[in-house]
Structure 1
Amino acid sequence: MKIKQVSLQDIENLKAIEKQTFRETYASVNNEEHISAYTLKKNKLANKQTPSKTLKETELQPKPKRIRRPATEEQLSNPFHGVKLKQVLEHLVAHYGWAYLGERTNLRCFIYNPTMKSSLGFLRRTTWAREHVEDLYLDMLDETKEEKEEAK
């Protein structure tokens, strides 16, 4: 195997060639991106139709709206359908108050310095506590139905 000696001048020439080719390729790519971004911005400002080179035809067409399915009978009969945990807790606090909730559920988030934010954070992290509060909400709904029926 024969080893060829390379001078420092040869190495510097190779480095210069590599740098020049890198600069040329980077400059051409960067210039094309700059021009296309500039033309897009200019066309949007002038409300002109953009050339087909810059935007695909699918981007020019409006996106179709998402079609929502109607709620099923099972969902409509579920008392939690469309009701968020925050709304459940707000109804319970308005109906019973924090003191009763703390006494009935024995949860620290309802007993010591109860706030909506801390209670929601605890209930979202703890499934057993959330289920307990949901059961209490169902009981409250049953009570209000009975009260309405008695009033009639």
Structure 2
Amino acid sequence: MTTRLTAHEQAPSFTLEDAEGNSVSLSDYSGQRVILYFYPKANTPGCTTQACDFRDNLASLQSHGYQVVGISPDSTEKLRQFITGQDLTFPLLSDPDHAVAEAYGAWGEKKNYGKTYEGLIRSTFVIDEEGRIEVAQYNVRAKGHVAKLRRDLGIDSATER
């Protein structure tokens, strides 16, 4: 059974490559709030919906003090294609051996069409300025997730108009 993180725990540190091959660490965001989300595979319908939702809400999230970072097992080349094809404006990181996903409890048993297998569990974490988990959400739905997260964080889009 995968160990899941909960609020107030220290977020596991990591260093992964972004789409351009640059090393990005959680510590690079020290003093900032981060929305870290794990998604299974670039350029698939659900992952595209979720990424575009984050893209479309990025300015609002950033105006409330949040940075967005996506992580998947995809190669840096796949990430580059995804960023370019969807005009994504936030970093995507490659976790090919899923070690970071495992550390966050976002890798484990999944079921699809009656089959059980190991894979990435769509998950989102909000990490505070000191590197502690504020929110840990597992098995999130791709569609509507960003709107739900905004509500959970008290960011009401109606008040921004």
TM-score exceeds 0.5: no
- TM value normalised by structure 2: 0.22
TM-score (norm 1): 0.23
With a CA cutoff of 8 Å and minimum separation of 6, indicate the structure with the bigger relative contact order.
2
More strand by share: 2
Choose 1 or 2 for highest CA Rg: 1
Greater percentage in helix: 1
